[in-house]
Chains A and B, each alone.
Chain A
Amino acid sequence: MTFAPPVLRLSASQYERIVGHCYEGLPDEACGLLAGPVGEVRGAREATGHVSEVYPAVNADASARTYTVDGRDYLRASRDAEARGDEIIGVWHSHTHTDPYPSPTDVRSAVDPMWIYVIVSLRDESPMLRAYRIRDGVVGECQVVSMP
C-alpha cells in the first residue's frame, strides 16, 4: 500500500529562517531540522506536516557537496522538540548549484521513512524550496503550503 505524502505547512517566518540559513551557509551546503507533531495513519506513525519549530544546524562536513547535521545540534533540537511534545520530523539542506531534488547520496542516506526531506536550491536568483518523502529508495514529492 502506498501512503499519500504529508503536506508540509511552513509559516512565512519558518520559510525565511530556512532559506536565510541556506544563504548564510554559502559557499557550503547548509542544513537544519524540523520539529512537529506526529500522528497515526492506518496504524503507522506519520508526520502531520505541521511544523512547530525549525532548528538551523551546523554542517559538520563544512562542504559545498555534502552535509552532516552536527550531532550536538541534533541532540539539542531533539530535546527541545520532545519538551514541546513533538518530534523531529525532517531535515532540510541546500543544493548550492543543482536542482531542488534529492541526489543519489540523499536517497541512500535517508534516515527515517517518516521524515520530510526539504531541499532548497540556490542555483537560480530565487531560492526553490521543495519537500520529499524518501521511503525504501523511492522519492515522493510533498506539497508545500505557506501558512500565515
Chain B
Amino acid sequence: MMAVEVRLPTLLRVHADGAASVHADGTTVGEVFAALTAEHPGLANQLVDGEGVLHKFVNVYVNDDDIRYLDKLATPVTDRDVVSILPAVAGG
C-alpha cells in the first residue's frame, strides 16, 4: 500500500485535528478516502454519500485533474500523486 497525500479544505480540517494535509493508503481515490474516513470518522459523510458516490458539492483533484473527468473514485493514485479536496463555490 502506498500513502497518498490528501489536501483538505479549511472547512474539513476540523475533522482531521486541524491538519491541512493528511496521508492515507490506497491505490485508487476511493480506497484512499475509505482509509481516510476510517482514521477520521468525521469526514465520512463529507465526501461520499450512502451509496458511495462523490457528493456533487465536493470537487476532487488528482494533481491538476478533476476525477469526474477521469475514473471518478476508481481513479488510480500512487504515492507521487497529491489528492486535493475542494468544496464547490457557487451562488446566484
A interface with B by C-beta (< 8 Å): 31, 33, 38, 45, 61, 65-69, 71-72, 74-75, 78, 82, 87-88, 91, 93, 102-106, 109-112, 114, 117
**Beyond A71-B59, A71-B86, A105-B91, 5 extra complex contacts between A and B, CB < 8 Å:** A65-B92, A67-B90, A75-B61, A112-B11, A114-B10
> Which A-chain residue is minimally distant from B65 (CB atoms)?
A72
Give the interface SS of chain A, mostly helix, strand, loop or mixed. mixed
> A71–B61 contact, CB under 8 A?
yes
* Closest Cβ–Cβ distance, residue B11 to chain A (whole Å): 5
Please give the distance in Å from A69's CB to the nearest CB on chain B: 4
- Distance of A104 Cα from B64 Cα, bound (Å): 32
A-B contact count (CB 8 A): 64
Query: A71-B86, A75-B84 known; A112 and B10 CB under 8 Å?
Result: yes
